[in-house]
Structures are given as C-alpha cells and as structure tokens.
Structure 1
C-alpha cells in the first residue's frame, strides 16, 4: 500500500511537490481552500494577491518547471498565462483528480500513527504532510498614528486586495512601500488615469528594469556565479558587483529624480520594475519619506509636509501565517510572523514526516527553487539520497536562529543552489565544458538542474543551451572582460 501524503495547498509549490512525490511512489492528496487550483495565480479576491493587469517580473524561462516549457515566445507573462500553465501542468502529470477544492484545512496535528488533517469534511490520517499553503497571503499593514481615521473616498487597502486602477481614476493615491507590488501598482495607477500618485518609502531602493539591452534582468542577476561569489568573496565585493549590474542596466534612482540610495545595494535593497523610474522622471509619480501620521484625508510625512489623498494602498510585505498548525507543531518550529525554524526552510528533525514548501521570502522567481525543494523532499522520503543527519539539521536551524532579527530575504539563486545541492542535482562544471560560461553567468534555467544527479535527462544539455541563448547570450567559453575578472577573483579565493 502506497504511503499517503497530504499536501496543503494546490498552488505552484503544492503541485510540483505532488508531481515529484507521485514519481517516487507516494500517494499525494492536495487540499485547496479555493474553488480552483493555482494558489496566488487564480486571481481570486480574498485568496490571491494577483490583480488582472499583473505581468510577471521574471522571464518565461525562469517561471517554469523543468518538464513543461511555456508555449509561445512572450518574455514576460500575464497572470492568466501562469494560471493556464499551472492547469496544464496539473493535467500533464495527472494531478487534477488528486486535488480537493473548497477544502480548507483548519487544523494539522501529529499522532502516534501519523498526521491528522482536519477540514469541514472531517478528520483524516496521513503518513506524511507537506505544507505548501503559500507565504504571501496575510498582508502586513504598518502601524501609523491616525491611520484608522483616514477619510478618503477609496479608503486604506493593501496591494494584496488591489484589483485595478479603474476605481482610482481622477483620484489622488498614496502607495506605501518600495517592493515589487508597490512600484508596479504605482506605475499602473499613474498610467491608468489617477490624478496624482505618490509613493512613500522608508528608504530608496535601487530599481532594476525587468528588461535591459535585450536581456531579462533575472538572467543577469540570479546566476550560479552570484552564489559562488557570495560564498567566497568579501561581502563588499559581492555588493559592488551586484550594484554594478543593476546600475549598468538601469542607472541609479537619483538620475531619474528619486532620492539617492545608500551606496551599498545590500543596505538599500533592489526592486524589479520596468516603468517606475521613467514615470518618476516624468513627474507622474512623486516620492516622499515615510508617512508619520494621518488625520482625515491628510497624510503627514517625515519631512513635515502634509498632502490630502483619496486612497492609500500599502505594499509593505506579508506576515508568515499558518493558522492551521496546532500548538505542538507551532512551538517546535518557533513560528512567528517572520520566521520558521526548519533546516533550509524545509525539514525539522523533531517533526519527521512533515515538510514545508515555499515558506521563505526571496527576491526573484519561485518556480525553479520550488521544483528543486520538491525534488529534495521526494528524494529524501523516497530513499533516493541518504537520510538527513539530525545533528546537521539542528546546526542549520541554529545558524538560522542566529540571524533572527535580521533581514531574512533570500535571493532566488541562493535558494535554488541550496536545494539543488541538497537534492544532488547541482550541475558539475567539469562535466560540461561547452556549457561552462552559461552555467556560471547564464540563467539558472530549470533545465540546468536536469544535467546531473537523480532524474538527469538525456536532452537537458541541448535544452539548457537553448534556454541560455534565448535572449542573445553568446554560447561560447570566451568570457567577457568583466566575467573573466570576476572568475579570476573567485578562483583566487577558492
């Protein structure tokens, strides 16, 4: 009899976990609270933060799983395209009949013989559980004196509940925050007929355009070289290299009339947005320091200025919220609104048979690391790779706990390589000399993780060569001058 696995959530993380667990002979059952699969990509108000006009800020190559490329050649995809892709993925791998829609899990607990999953239909026992319910479902609104008194006609909301610019036509709108959703929505409002759009921010981030010199920016910044550099070079050198990539692609914010960011990209942060800075330069988006108080329609900012608004939209992040975990599990993983204690965001040695998927906060696309994390779980539980060492797991958790209180945002390439190493499928540079440059400085396409290790594919090298060359990358071993300098610096330190 097959080992049963309850998977909580049928978004990208739940679907890819189900596909790889089924491949290892497990019997996955997906519980989805919404009336459709897809998680955030359903676009359903209340369970999704995806608005109708949203396009991905990651390219189609990095917004896909390794066995199912997107159809067509559009570089950045509409939200509906991703929804259709996930439905196609579920159909391709026989997952549709495994999904129970309208099935909200309200309690997960462990017992002597397995795990109990409770829904409105009753309680069921499973041998194992994967929590893939999503990291970005509970907006974190800031505490601002007088915010509850705001009297603008459009009220206060979060980017999670934003559903388009139409309601804000001929209105004055304040957007709070400087992450992706805040800047993308500010740009949509400015282009969608708002009378005035103002962004209030605690600090000025660098802004990287989604597309520069014919290449998607995620192909430039989320590379394997970036992971090796992070591991071996001084932090200041990595900081400088990343800042150079960003400013070479799109300049620095002060050149557009925005405030000057901190010289350190790590201190300032970076956000991908194609249109935001040009709209600032055109005067169609204004920028203010962080708001300090609200009274009626009037908002006062850190520079002492006061401006009336009709609506406020906050894009200030999300709280980590897993309300169905019982007190025992919650205490074991020391869950709070930011952190979860788990070895590489996945396993806890005191909770065998339980795994988490997609519970980290990162910059960059999730599809590639989600698949690698799913493969790691399936390979560990399926015996493809050696069992986990509890002492090593505890050391990993202790290292994570030591960083509590600091920013926990992870770059996509760091997450992907960590999971690839855990799953035993990090590509070996020496085995692929003709792909060396692409594997170092090219995109972390899902195909490159099918070159070596478990489930390597015979045609993966050709697929990866196409993926790396899709946007004009030179497929040769001849590094550019900058790449050669970076590689020599790395080899000196290794």
Structure 2
C-alpha cells in the first residue's frame, strides 16, 4: 500500500508537488479552501493579490513547468493565462480529481509517527504532509503615526486588495512601496484616470524594464552564471556586474527624475517594471520619501513636505502566515512574520514527514524553483535519492538562524540551483558543449533541468535549445565578456 500524503493548498506549489509525488507512487490528496485551484492566480478577492489587468513580470519560459509548454507565444502572460495553464497542467497529470475544493484545513499536527489533518470537524491521518499554502497571503502594512485615523474618502488598504483602477478614477492616490505590486499599480492608475499618483518609498530601487532590446529581463539577470558567481566571486564584483546589466537595460532612476539609488544594487534592490520610470519622467507619477505621519487626509513625508490624498495603498510586502500549523509545530519551526527554521526552506530534522513548498521570500520567477523543490521532496521521500542526514539538516537550520535579522530575499536563480543540486538534476556544463553558453548565460528554463538525473527527458536538449534560442541566448555576442569572466572565475577557483 502506498504512503499517503496531504498537500495543503492547490496553487502552483501544491499542484507541482502533487505531480511529482504521484510520479513517485504516493497516494496524494490536495486540500484547497477555495472554489478552484490556482492559489494567487485564482484572483479571488480577499484571498489573492492578483487583479484583473495584471500580467506576469516573468516571461512565459520561466512561468511554466518542465512537462507542459505554454500554449501561447505571449511573452508575459496574463493572470488568466497562468490560471488556465495550471488547470491544464492539473488535468494533464490527473491531479484535478485529487483536489478537494471548498475544504479549509484548520489544523495540521503530529499524530505519533503520522500527521493529523483537521477540517470542518473531520480528522484524517496521513503518513506525510506538504504545506503549500503560499508565501504571499498575509500583506504587511508598517506602522505609521496617525494612519489609523486617515480620513481620505478611499481609505487605507494593501495592494493585495486592489481590484482595478475604476474605484480610483479622479482620486489622489498615494502608493507606498517600490516593489512589483506598488509600481505596477501606480503605473496602471496613472494610465487610467487617477487625478494624481504619488509613490512614497523608504529607498529608491533600480527599476529594470521587463523587456529590453528584444530580451525578457529575467533571461538576463536570473542566470546560471549569476548563481555560480555568487559562490565564487567577491560580493562587490557580483554587485557591479548585476548593476551594469540593470543600468544598461533601463538606465538609472535619476535619469528619469526619480531619486538616485544607492550605488550598490544589493543595497538598493531592483524591481521589474516596464512603464513606471517613463511615467515619472513625464510627471504623471510623483516620488516622495517615506511617510512621516498622517493627520486626517494630509500626509507628511520625511523631507518635511506634505500633501492631501484620498487613498493610500500599501505595497510593502508580506509576512509568513501558516495558520493551520499547530502551536507545537510552529514552535519547532520557530515561525514568526519573517522566518521559518528549515533546511533549505523545506525540511526540519525534528519534523519527519513534513515538508514546506514555496515558503522562501522570493525575488524573480518561482515556477522553476518550485518544481525543483517539489522534485527534491518527492525523490527524497520516495527513495530515489537519500534524505539529508540529521546532521546536515541541523547544520542547515543553524546556518539559516545565523542570518536572522538580515534580508531574507532569495533570487530565483540561487533558489533554482540550490534545489536542483539537492534533487540531483543540475546539468553539467562540460557534458553539453553545444549548450554551454545557453546553460551559463541563458534562461533557467525548466527544460534544462530535465537534461540529467532522475526523470531526464530524451527531448530536453531540443526543448532547451528552443527556449534559449527564442531570445538569442545561444548566439548573442553580448555574452562574450561574461564568458571571459566565467573562464577567469573557473581558473581562480
């Protein structure tokens, strides 16, 4: 009899881990609180931060899994495209019949060597549990003096609850934050009839256009070379190279009339957005420093200036939120708003039979690392590869704890390579000379992680060649300098 696994959540993480657990012979049940699969991509008000006009800021190549290609040539899919893809994926791999919709899990706790899952007064026992409830479900609004008494007619809310520009036509809107949702919504409001749009931020980020010189920017910045360099080159050199890529593609913020960013890209941060900086340059979006205080409908900023607003929207990130976990399990994971103690965001040595999916603070696309993390879990539990030893897991947890208090953002390429190595599916550069440039400097397409290891696919090389060639990663001469940098890095190490 096959082991039973409860997967909590039917978003991208839940769907992909179910696919690979089924491939390893597990009996999988997926619990979903909502009326449909998709997680954030369902667009459900109150449960999703996706609004009707939203498109991905990651390209179609990196917003897909390795076993099913997108069915459109649209480079940046709409949110409905992504939801349709997830439904098609679940149907293709016989996951849909295993999803229990309208089933909110109230408690996950240990039951001897097994796991207890409670929902609507019902108790079920499973051999294993995967938590796939998502990292972007608990919007965080920072404390601001006077904010609770804001009297603007549009009120205060998170961008998580934004559902389009119609409610903001003719209004003065302050958007707080400089990450993806804040800049996307500020740009949409500026295009769609808001009387005035102002962005307030703690620091100016670099803004990388989603598409530059015919290439999606996630193909430039989230590469295998970037992950290898992070382990071999001095941080200052990695910082310089990344900043160079960003500024060459989209310029520096002060060139558009925005405040200058910190010379260090690592210190400043970077956000992908195609239209925000041009709108700042046209005066259609104003930029102010962070909010000092609120008095009625008047907002005072850190530089002493003040202004009146009808609405304040906060796009200021998310906290960790896994309400179904028991107090005992939460204590073992030392769970708080920002941290989860786990070996590479996945396992804990004192919680055998429990795994987490998609719970790292993500920067960049997450479909590819989600699949690699899912394969690691399935292979390790299924016996295809060894589970990390107790000592390895404890060392990894200790290393994570030593970084508490620092930024927890993990770039997509670093997460992808970390999980690919754990799953034993990182392709060897030397083994694929004809794909060498693409493997180093091209997109981290899901197809490249089917070249080697468990579940290697005979058509993976052909598919990866196609994915890399679509935007020139195989032949683009701009990679010559970075190739030389790679040679120097290899020789020095």
TM-score (norm 1): 0.99
Uncovered stretches (5+) of structure 1, i.e. residues with no partner: none
TM superposition shift of 1:471: 1.6
Matched, 1:483 2:464: no
Matched, 1:133 2:136: no
TM superposition shift of 1:483: 1.8
Matched, 1:173 2:173: yes
Conserved in 1, the CA contact under 8 Å of 2:32 and 2:101?
A: yes
Conserved in 2, the CA contact under 8 Å of 1:214 and 1:472?
A: no
TM superposition shift of 1:473: 2.9
Look up the match of 2:431: 431
Aligned residue for 1:384, secondary structure, equals coil
Conserved in 2, the CA contact under 8 Å of 1:437 and 1:479?
A: no
Look up the match of 1:16: 16
Rounded to whole Å, the distance in 1 between the matches of 2:178 and 2:21 is 38
The aligned runs of 1:391-410 (5 Å cut-off) are: 391-410=391-410
Conserved in 2, the CA contact under 8 Å of 1:226 and 1:413?
A: yes
Look up the match of 1:232: 232
Look up the match of 2:74: 74
Conserved in 2, the CA contact under 8 Å of 1:155 and 1:310?
A: yes
Conserved in 2, the CA contact under 8 Å of 1:465 and 1:475?
A: no
Rounded to whole Å, the distance in 2 between the matches of 1:298 and 1:158 is 19
Look up the match of 2:365: 365
Rounded to whole Å, the distance in 2 between the matches of 1:276 and 1:489 is 37
Rounded to whole Å, the distance in 2 between the matches of 1:42 and 1:464 is 29
Aligned-residue CA RMSD (Å): 1.0
Rounded to whole Å, the distance in 2 between the matches of 1:366 and 1:106 is 27
Between 1:9-18 and 1:386-395, the stretch displaced more is: 386-395
Rounded to whole Å, the distance in 1 between the matches of 2:12 and 2:479 is 36
Rounded to whole Å, the distance in 1 between the matches of 2:29 and 2:475 is 43
TM superposition shift of 1:121: 4.7
Conserved in 2, the CA contact under 8 Å of 1:52 and 1:79?
A: yes
Q: Deviations over 1:96-124 (max 9, x none)?
A: 11001111111110011410001115111
Look up the match of 1:492: 491
Look up the match of 2:311: 311
TM superposition shift of 1:25: 0.3
The aligned runs of 1:124-273 (5 Å cut-off) are: 124-273=124-273
Rounded to whole Å, the distance in 2 between the matches of 1:6 and 1:493 is 47
TM superposition shift of 1:425: 0.1
Conserved in 2, the CA contact under 8 Å of 1:435 and 1:475?
A: no
Rounded to whole Å, the distance in 1 between the matches of 2:473 and 2:403 is 37
Look up the match of 1:89: 89
The aligned runs of 1:283-302 (5 Å cut-off) are: 283-302=283-302
Look up the match of 1:43: 43
Rounded to whole Å, the distance in 1 between the matches of 2:366 and 2:104 is 23
Rounded to whole Å, the distance in 1 between the matches of 2:487 and 2:439 is 16
Q: Deviations over 1:36-60 (max 9, x none)?
A: 1000000000111100010000000
TM superposition shift of 1:335: 0.4
Conserved in 1, the CA contact under 8 Å of 2:179 and 2:315?
A: yes
Aligned residue for 1:431, secondary structure, equals coil
Aligned residue for 1:85, secondary structure, equals helix
Distance change (3 Å), C-alpha of 1:131 and 1:54: same
Q: Deviations over 1:232-264 (max 9, x none)?
A: 000000000000000000000000000000000
TM superposition shift of 1:158: 0.4
TM superposition shift of 1:479: 7.4
Conserved in 1, the CA contact under 8 Å of 2:289 and 2:302?
A: yes
Look up the match of 1:116: 116
Aligned residue for 2:13, secondary structure, equals helix
Aligned residue for 1:271, secondary structure, equals strand
Rounded to whole Å, the distance in 1 between the matches of 2:113 and 2:465 is 48
Conserved in 1, the CA contact under 8 Å of 2:435 and 2:474?
A: no
Look up the match of 2:442: 442
Rounded to whole Å, the distance in 1 between the matches of 2:231 and 2:114 is 39
Look up the match of 1:337: 337
TM superposition shift of 1:19: 0.4
Look up the match of 1:466: 466
Aligned residue for 2:359, secondary structure, equals coil
Aligned length: 493
Conserved in 2, the CA contact under 8 Å of 1:30 and 1:98?
A: yes
Uncovered stretches (5+) of structure 2, i.e. residues with no partner: none
Between 1:467-476 and 1:335-344, the stretch displaced more is: 467-476
